[in-house]
Structure 1
Amino acid sequence: MKVSIMQPNIFMWGGLLKSLLDSDLHVIRDDVKSTKNSRFNRNRIAGNSDVIWLTIPFVKFRDNKLIGEQYLNTSHKTVQKIKQIYTSRYKGYKYYQDTLNLISSTLDFQSDETLLCDVYLKFLKELKLFGFPICEFTLASSLEINKNGEEKYYGLEMVNKILAKTKAETYLAAENTINYAQPDEYKVKNVMLQKYEDLPYKNLDLENAFQFNKNLSSLDIISNLSVKDAIEHVNLSNNWKLFKNFN
Structure 2
Amino acid sequence: MSQQRHGSTPGEADGVPAFPDLPEATIARLPEYLRALHHLAEAGAETVSSEGLAAAAGVNSAKLRKDLSHLGSYGTRGVGYDVALLVDQIEYILGLDENRAVCLVGVGNLGHALAGYAGFASRGFRVVALFDADRKKVGEVINGLSVRHIDDLAQVAAEESIAIGVIATPPASAQVVADGLVAAGVTSILNFAPCVLSVPPNVDVRKVDLAIELQILSFHEHRKASLTALPGGVVDGAGDQEAVGS
TM-score tier by shorter-chain length is: under 0.3
Structure with the largest fraction of helix: 2
User: Which TM-score applies when normalising by structure 1?
Assistant: 0.27
User: Which TM-score applies when normalising by structure 2?
Assistant: 0.28
